[in-house]
Amino acid sequence: MPERLRAERRARLAAAMAAEGINLLVVAGNPWRSDYLRFAVDLTPVEGQVFAFVRREGPTRVIAEFPAEAARFRAEQGDLQVTWSTSPTEEAEAALRSLDGECVALAPLAAVPQRLATGPLRSTMAAATALLDRLMLRKSPLEIAAFRRAAALADEGYAVFCDAARVGRPEYALVADVEAFFRSRGCPENFQILGSGGREVRGMHPPTERRLAPGDLVTTELTPCVDGYYAQICRTLVIGTPSEPQRRAFSVYDEALAAGIAAVRPGATAGEVARAQNEVFRRHGLGEYVTSEYTRVRGHGLGLYVDGRPALLEDVGLVLEAGMTLIVHPNTYHPEVGYFVHGDSVRVTNEGCEVLTRTPRRLFSVAAG
Amino acid sequence: MRRGLISWSRDEVPVSVLESRLAALQARMREEDLGAMLLYTSFARPSAVAWLTHFVPYWNEGLLAVLPTGAPTLLAAFSKRMHGWIRSVSHVGEVRSVSNLGREAADLVGRLPGAPRIGVLELDTLPWPVAEPLLDSGRRVLTDASALFASVRQPADETEIRLAQRAADIAARALGSIPIEATRTSQVLAAVEASARLDGAEEVLARLAPDLGTGTALRRIEGDMPLGARYALELSIAYKAAWARVVRSLSANAPQSWRRAQAWTSQWATGITGVAGGAPPGAIAFWTLEACVGSQPFSVVGSAIGPRGTVSAGTLACYSIQLQLQDGPWLSGGPVVVGGDGPGRLLA
């Protein structure tokens, strides 16, 4: 599957480059923004800056910053021409100077270092980034298949998380259990944040030493990666029997999630999906809590990056198309119970959307004793 | 992605240590007549800001503005809701939530009196969305301050060495948790992940050469692969923002040659800037010495093919070496405090 995905993405990229008249696309990446590099050449850096010189036709040259990474890239793909340098940006700059008269473009804006961006390719960056964005937004059936497997793994991961949530355990122990499970399933990456406690909890964060206590709301978002594609699940559980305010709060978030998912269809905007969720909160007198004071986004794109386009915010006009993949999550603070999360991964279909998350939409609870 | 424990223990990382590091940087800034210094931080480049403030931005990014005196200002691409968390894990002056790091930084340095030069750590590699507003504002002269920062970053202080020792110990216990009967990469990676994270690791990065009989490249494993009779594992462990990298060759039936290789390598590693420990038990296929001198946890400061600059005594580094023994390849590595007149100190 990974080799088929690689070949398919490469062919799509070559066609797009041909359409734009680009002979050579220089793609920058690093361990944080590896998504464009992954799409273009199927590489995921563990450390250092990496540049790939992707020709429309012909071999790809890769410049890595670390010898171990260079050796790994060669082992992963024998047809790549890989070198390493402690100054990869200078090396890439020198390589670009040696190209004469070719139509070259540089991307993505998020990962290009200043030294290259201020060079002669500055004017190409916006268009080249947009080219890749277009390709990455709409997933092919093979990409959707990987996303689907990631969503299934997220479901399994949440079951592990529930088992791990016991009174007295520190937050980081829950994450340890989940990460070990994902590694046991061959999943190399997971983005996870969580929160635990009551009304004082305003958001999620990396795990701390705080130990779970009876009555806690325990929130998490899990985002495992399969073949490069991230899918996400957001759920909230209670340590012990949920209180009436916790149940009431859940019903609002559940209604908002359903409304958001119902709004996902081709032709709708990202803003409409956000608005559908926010209207539920407004109807319940909680409109204040869907502002930036209390929450960030009502969901976002998923794929080769954990927090991709589009952001689901009311002022985002990006039009949804079949093949896009999203998390819809009305996560925000609730004044009676604290920060609360609830979200499903979905794909936009020709008719509407398919929910790929299979974990029931309920307020989970685990024994307090 | 960062997914382990991020916390600040004032006992393990005293405020006084963070402030003395900051003071050392500010003294150098005054010597170089810099009006401010900007240090970028992200998941990929967390180390400089973490060393000064203990702040690690897990999945987000930030920019630390250091003036010649006083506490630094953290510009963070986080919402205000995260200020409590940021304060709980770091020692900074003002924290500002900003939507555009570069523009906010341009405004900040633009308000400084006079026309001071502004130092930027790793100016060349600053991500373009951050660099563009800074450069386009044209209000201040930006200068690369990487060498200045490196001059205060090493030698390591005892606090950092203790943290690296703890990271190395976490790695050692993780390696010890690997089931002897493991036959798949997933068994190895699950075991070390669970052990290291339950031990308090902030980050665990594993690369694995699954079968030394077919290749020595340390791979990022996606999916699952069978293990050969001999394999090698590299663990890069972060503990409270300090990193240790440990490489071990592993086998249920480790040959005698590996013991001799380890004995020689320990000698070699402790004498890395001085006299090597006699003739190696096999050809040296490759070696590297990595240290934290900027924003990344590791930078290559020496290798078999360069660079070959001088590494100062007391530098906290990690060596990696590959020997071609008579019965096959062997990989090893670990953290070391580079020696001066005497031998260095191995931490693993």
The interface predicted TM-score (ipTM) is 0.96
Question: CA gyration radius for chain B?
Answer: 21
pTM score over 0.80:
yes
CA distances from A122 to A18, A265, B214 (A): 20, 36, 43
Tens digits of residue pLDDT in B154-178: 999 999 999 999 999 999 999 999 9
| CA–CA gap between residue A333 and residue B82 (Å, rounded) | 13
The shortest CB-CB distance from A175 to any of B42, B197, B236 is to B197
The shortest CB-CB distance from B124 to any of A30, A115, A209 is to A115
Does A99 or B54 have the greater pLDDT score?
B54
B125 to A31: CB separation less than 8 angstroms, yes or no: no
How confident is residue B1, by pLDDT bands cut at 50, 70 and 90?
low
The shortest CB-CB distance from A208 to any of B7, B80, B220 is to B7
**Which residue, among A161, A213, A208, A206, has the nearest Cα to A182 in the 3D structure?**
A161
Residue of B nearest to A185 (CA): B186
pLDDT on residue B275:
45
Tokens encoding B223? 């999916």
Mean pLDDT of A186-215: 96
Q: What does pLDDT average to over chain A?
A: 97
Mean pLDDT of A113-117: 96
Residues 6+ apart with CB under 8 A from B228: B210, B211, B212, B213, B214
How many angstroms from the chain centroid is the CA of residue A273? 18
B224 to A186: CB separation less than 8 angstroms, yes or no: yes
pLDDT on residue B127:
96
Host H or E run for residue B76: strand B73-76
pLDDT on residue A121:
94
Strand B73-76 relative to strand B345-346, pairing: unpaired
Strand A24-29 relative to strand A50-55, pairing: antiparallel
Tokens encoding A64? 């890595």
Q: How distant is the Cα of A351 from the closest Cα of chain B, in angstroms?
A: 33
| CA–CA gap between residue B224 and residue B230 (Å, rounded) | 17
The gap between the terminal CA atoms of chain B, to the nearest Å, is 25
According to DSSP, residue B94 is labeled -
pLDDT on residue B79:
84
**Which residue, among A363, A274, A290, A282, has the nearest Cα to A333 in the 3D structure?**
A290
The shortest CB-CB distance from A183 to any of B1, B123, B190 is to B190
3 state DSSP class of B87: helix
Residues 6+ apart with CB under 8 A from A94: none
pLDDT on residue B195:
98
According to DSSP, residue A60 is labeled P
According to DSSP, residue A119 is labeled S
**Which residue, among B287, B273, B276, has the nearest Cα to B315 in the 3D structure?**
B273
Q: Over 50: is that where the pLDDT of B274 sits?
A: no
Give the side-chain half-sphere CA count within 13 A for A166. 7
Chain A residues lying within 8 Å of B303, measured CB to CB: 67
How confident is residue B329, by pLDDT bands cut at 50, 70 and 90?
very high
| CA–CA gap between residue A129 and residue A137 (Å, rounded) | 12
B85 to A89: CB separation less than 8 angstroms, yes or no: no
Strand A229-230 relative to strand A217-226, pairing: antiparallel
- pLDDT > 70 fraction of chain A, expressed in percent and rounded: 100
A47 to B298: CB separation less than 8 angstroms, yes or no: yes
* Lowest-confidence region among A210-219, B25-34, B74-83, B93-102: B74-83
Strand A50-55 relative to strand A61-64, pairing: antiparallel
How many contacts, defined by CB atoms under 8 Å, are there between A and B? 181
| CA–CA gap between residue A60 and residue A104 (Å, rounded) | 14
A31 to B43: CB separation less than 8 angstroms, yes or no: yes
Q: How distant is the Cα of B9 from the closest Cα of chain A, in angstroms?
A: 11
Does B309 or B33 have the greater pLDDT score?
B33
* Cβ contact A154:A231 at 8 Å: yes
Q: What does pLDDT average to over chain B?
A: 94
Mutate one of A93, A184, A331 to test the B interface: name it (highest B CB count within 10 A).
A184
In the block, tokens 């400084």 appear at B112
Q: Over 80: is that where the pLDDT of A1 sits?
A: no
**Would you say the C-alpha torsion B174, B175, B180, B183 has a positive or negative sign?**
positive
Tens digits of residue pLDDT in B210-232: 999 999 999 999 999 999 999 99
Tens digits of residue pLDDT in A273-327: 999 999 999 999 999 999 999 999 999 999 999 999 999 999 999 999 999 999 9
Q: Over 70: is that where the pLDDT of B272 sits?
A: no
Tokens encoding A303? 């794929």
Tens digits of residue pLDDT in B57-115: 988 899 999 999 999 999 998 888 888 899 999 999 999 999 999 999 999 999 999 88
